[in-house]
Chain A
Amino acid sequence: MRNRILILAGLALCLAALTWPVWRALASAPAPAPSLARPVGATRCVAPVGFMRTSHMTLLAEWRDRVVRDGVRTYTDADGRVVTMSLSGTCLRACHADKTKFCDRCHDYAGVKPTCWGCHVVPTATGAIVSGPAAPSRSSRPGAAL
């Protein structure tokens, strides 16, 4: 009988641990979905929104490979627009001016820690960095993880 009490206590402890997220969620307010700062002026991204939501990281990795390995610096999107393949220069300067209100919102929410900023400079609101062919040397380090 002593064992039975011990076993049931252990079982209760296990069940409490397994359902911990539920107790935790019931005790606190639900987390709102991240709200993103929409780009001013621009209406279209280089790829459909659905694709960008799920797979922007592969697009950026592809950009990196083409710039760093092939020396190609321009990208033609599905609509025929030609853009410079540059995270700091194009994505962040042309559309998503504030990284903390766009990139970080979702990354923080999902617990993703991309290594982009180990190499890339975060442009300031005044546009302190140059883009295009004279991209910052730090962004063209081969083998740098995105």
Chain B
Amino acid sequence: MPTVLLIAVPYVAAVLFLGGLAWRVWTWAATPEPFRIPTTTGQQRSLAGIAPSRVESPSTTAGVVGRMLLEGLLFRSLFRNVASGPTAAGTCPDPVFLERKALWLGAMAFHWSLLVIVVRHLGLFVEPIPRVASFVASVDGFFQVGSPSWYATDVIVIVALGYLLFRRVRDPLLRYLTLPADYLALAVLIAVVGSGVVLRYVARTDLIAVRQYTLGLAALAPTAPASPGAGFVLHLLSVSVLLAILPFTKMVHAAGMWLSPTRNQANDGRRRRHVNPWNAPAPFHTYEEWEDEFREKLQAAGLPIEREDGRFQNPQAGGGERGAPPAAQAPLT
């Protein structure tokens, strides 16, 4: 039974992870986005005398790339976190919006540690061990404390996850807003990290047997280790659960962040005309066409019209094309 467990579970988890991820991305890719809906936090490109915020409110693709990198690598939006605070009575008031960087710091610490940990684990699945994996591991174990030496990211990720859980529990308002799904994500991550730390420092397992097993997993010809130990089974199961549920929980933001139209669209809704591609082909009759049609009758009746002489449109052009801008437009004054 444990043998079947050790072989079937990781593959089921991997299939759910990769398949789920592909399915989610496909549903996002298949969703049309006819309009510009970026959420911006800066001055959009405007008149020459007004300095635009090229990254916070990008009007070009380069700006969008900069914005996405800033968000994906440095979590720009979390850096903007503020809280309303009390003003100092009797003195010049403090700013009402106080900077709050703890969430940003906790998120940065957690996500980057997770990346380092994943890269470190690459050595278990690739033969020979990739240079990047051993390099990251040596940097991570820089302090050379203890034997086996402590990894800095092991400490950082535990502290960061502890904080991320603590902040949800501490504040009554945040606790009220926290859904079971939020606790689920934290619980699974804490299980993964906790079991991994226990596996390395407390209930160790035979690393050679484990690498034989993980290399076998990568080669699609796995053989379960003879006596993996409870710590390893727990770590493997928690990682499998994490992978399996990732595409179906909020943790899929790993992929979804890059495909958020509110972030990856250029804020050029006023510069370029975006026509909804599936607008029903409805015939419409503009005022200009209407006036062209009835000009003589309107003039005969003495009604005010825009153009006393001549027509708006060339009659041969047939006017009223769907989506085309009005042929003539009164200049903005």
Q: What residue in chain A is nearest B24 (Cβ atoms)?
A: A11
Given A24-B218, A30-B215, A146-B147, are A112 and B207 neighbors across the interface (CB < 8 Å)? yes
Q: Are A21 and B211 in contact (CB under 8 A)?
A: no
The main secondary structure of chain A at its interface with chain B is: helix
- Residues of chain B within 8 A of A145, CB atoms compared: 144-145, 147, 149
Tell me the minimal C-beta distance from B14 to chain A in angstroms: 8
Q: Are B29 and A7 in contact (CB under 8 A)?
A: yes
A82 to B53, alpha carbons, bound, how many Å?
A: 75
Tell me the minimal C-beta distance from B288 to chain A in angstroms: 33
A8 to B24, alpha carbons, bound, how many Å?
A: 11
Residue from A30, A112, A114, A146 within 8 A of B221 (CB atoms): A30
Stretch at the interface among A37-45, A57-65, A72-80, A128-136: A57-65
Given A21-B122, A25-B215, are A109 and B134 neighbors across the interface (CB < 8 Å)? no
- Residues of chain A within 8 A of B137, CB atoms compared: 111
A112 to B149, alpha carbons, bound, how many Å?
A: 10
Q: B126 in the interface, Cβ–Cβ < 8 Å?
A: yes
- Residues of chain A within 8 A of B30, CB atoms compared: 4
A29 to B287, alpha carbons, bound, how many Å?
A: 76
Tell me the minimal C-beta distance from A24 to chain B in angstroms: 6
Within 8 A of A (CB), among B194-215: 204-208, 211-212, 215
Q: A142 in the interface, Cβ–Cβ < 8 Å?
A: no
- Residues of chain B within 8 A of A24, CB atoms compared: 126-127, 218
A115 to B147, alpha carbons, bound, how many Å?
A: 10
Within 8 A of B (CB), among A68-115: 106, 109-115
Given A21-B126, A25-B126, are A30 and B219 neighbors across the interface (CB < 8 Å)? yes
Q: What residue in chain B is nearest A57 (Cβ atoms)?
A: B147
Q: A137 in the interface, Cβ–Cβ < 8 Å?
A: no
A11 to B258, alpha carbons, bound, how many Å?
A: 11
Q: Are A113 and B138 in contact (CB under 8 A)?
A: yes
- Residues of chain B within 8 A of A61, CB atoms compared: 146-147
A34 to B211, alpha carbons, bound, how many Å?
A: 11
A21 to B220, alpha carbons, bound, how many Å?
A: 10
Given A25-B127, A54-B206, are A7 and B122 neighbors across the interface (CB < 8 Å)? no
Candidate in A25, A28, A114 with the most chain B CB atoms within 10 angstroms: A25
A18 to B138, alpha carbons, bound, how many Å?
A: 23
Residue from B26, B29, B205, B216 within 8 A of A30 (CB atoms): B216
* Interface residues in A, total, Cβ within 8 A: 39
Q: Are B29 and A21 in contact (CB under 8 A)?
A: no
- Residues of chain A within 8 A of B58, CB atoms compared: none
Q: Are A25 and B211 in contact (CB under 8 A)?
A: no
- Residues of chain B within 8 A of A113, CB atoms compared: 134, 138
Q: A125 in the interface, Cβ–Cβ < 8 Å?
A: no
Within 8 A of A (CB), among B108-137: 122-123, 125-129, 133-134, 137
A22 to B215, alpha carbons, bound, how many Å?
A: 9
Q: A55 in the interface, Cβ–Cβ < 8 Å?
A: yes
Q: What residue in chain B is nearest A106 (Cβ atoms)?
A: B208
Tell me the minimal C-beta distance from B147 to chain A in angstroms: 4
Tell me the minimal C-beta distance from A143 to chain B in angstroms: 10
User: Hey, what's the 0/1 contact readout for A11-22 against B, CB within 8 Å counting as 1?
Assistant: 100110011111
Q: B25 in the interface, Cβ–Cβ < 8 Å?
A: yes
Q: What residue in chain B is nearest A7 (Cβ atoms)?
A: B29
Within 8 A of A (CB), among B154-205: 204-205
Q: Are B208 and A109 in contact (CB under 8 A)?
A: yes
- A-B contacts, 10 of them at CB < 8 A, read A4-B29, A22-B219, A24-B126, A24-B127, A26-B220, A28-B127, A30-B127, A54-B204, A58-B147, A145-B149
- Interface residues, chain A, with chain B CB atoms under 8 Å away: 3-4, 7-8, 10-11, 14-15, 18-22, 24-26, 28, 30-31, 33-34, 50, 53-55, 57-58, 60-61, 106, 109-115, 145-146
Beyond A15-B21, A21-B122, 10 additional contacts (C-beta under 8 Å) are A4-B30, A15-B22, A28-B127, A33-B212, A54-B206, A55-B204, A57-B148, A110-B211, A112-B148, A146-B147
User: What 4 pairs between A and B have smallest CB-CB spacing?
Assistant: A25-B219, A21-B125, A54-B204, A61-B147
